[in-house]
Chains A and B, each alone.
Chain A
């Protein structure tokens, strides 16, 4: 069992969601987050004065998958979220010890 965490551009959220659903994913947790990478934020101008907005808005997606699905799902996200421009985001995968479905009490792979 793995947790895929993907930070993507907010306007790509719908495309990523649709691609993941088409790939068989049944659950996604999405959070509005702010952050910066090599992009280092952006500037805004108010009354002629430039402000550096260091933390830009992103969406963080969290998806639980079985070990066999990791590579395929990461590929789906990359294809759907990529614009080839700076600030496209990042995906990382971590191992998960256990999963419980609260309603039924099902465990681990059955609970994905």
Chain B
């Protein structure tokens, strides 16, 4: 074979893995929909599913119209991309890696606003959600994504392997801003119903975990050692966090619960997301254990501070993302991934790097939190003053499935 043929052959494996990973990440949005939908009430489950599936309808289109171009091009600007690749203009097909990567990143763009739906469950107008998603995509997700991947936060040295800051912290703090404008559900917290279908929650959790292998291991954008390590870390951290959450519940509340296992698994997946291709050995287990315990206590914050984050987006995604992203400042081990060559990212404090990386991680997350909170709050206020964000009381009592979608989830007979 000629050298050119060898390069093509090697590249084809990478493209194949990116394509498979993209499909895995797509599957996470239905998984999230079931994870949330099972926790919601019978009268609101379809609304919850639709809030998630809507993201799969609108975001891919917008991602190609201008999203990708604004999020990634040109690399020279530290804060926002440009319009040079709108409608995928001027992109060479080549071996397919660029198109595959754009599709892969489009899946991330789709699931990120969907994460917020869990917080606003049960009382947000669907029309308001339909406008919120594109506004949030362009004004919050894309700038923060750009800062973290190629922009100023990246250039300073902060790292985020698959979206701890850009996705989970970003969506988690946005969820808090959204519910502060939206207000509490009628009857919260004393008269709120428990999850209507725990089997759906467990099914959704399984789909999420499965898809997350594409999310994290796919973020190596190659079929290589870093992808394999990210895969292993995704496996371990989720298990450890699920175990930790259940043990806390067993000791504190007396029982080993399904929802504890599901929540812990997701918390571990969130926490390992920024770390996946940067840590090794037993460290992912430690990260998972810490995230499981931290998030198990963090879901209690809403009752202490009085915000109705219905399905704990803040407690799991904001807190889990922050835990993972900050622990990366301790556990990042570039030497393990360098193959004897130069180090590609800063060392964590436990691997001889001092506190520099931890500082950069704190700055990156702090910046994402401030931007996301302020702009999301602004979007919600703007929607509230124009079309309104909240359904009327009758709709809330009747349920959003019938009122907003003219459908019912469960017919008998």
Contact = CB atoms under 8 A, between A and B. Distances in A.
Q: Which 10 A-B pairs have the closest CB atoms?
A: A51-B194, A47-B299, A45-B253, A46-B259, A46-B194, A44-B194, A48-B253, A47-B259, A46-B195, A48-B300
14 contacts: A44-B194, A45-B255, A46-B257, A46-B259, A47-B259, A47-B263, A47-B296, A47-B312, A48-B249, A48-B253, A48-B299, A49-B189, A51-B192, A51-B193
B303 to A, nearest CB: 7
Nearest to A50: B253
A53 interface: yes
A48 B192 CA distance: 14
Interface string A50-88: 010100000000000000000000000000000000000
Interface of A: 44-49, 51, 53
B204 interface: no
Contacts of B192: 51
A7 B244 CA distance: 41
A47 B299 CA distance: 7
B252 interface: yes
B324 interface: no
A45 B195 CA distance: 10
A89 to B, nearest CB: 24
B252 A48 contact: yes
B260 interface: yes
Given A51-B193, A53-B194, A45 B303 contact: no
Interface in B171-218: 189, 192-195
B265 to A, nearest CB: 13
B222 to A, nearest CB: 38
A51 B192 CA distance: 8
Interface in B248-281: 249, 252-255, 257, 259-260, 263
A16 B162 CA distance: 58
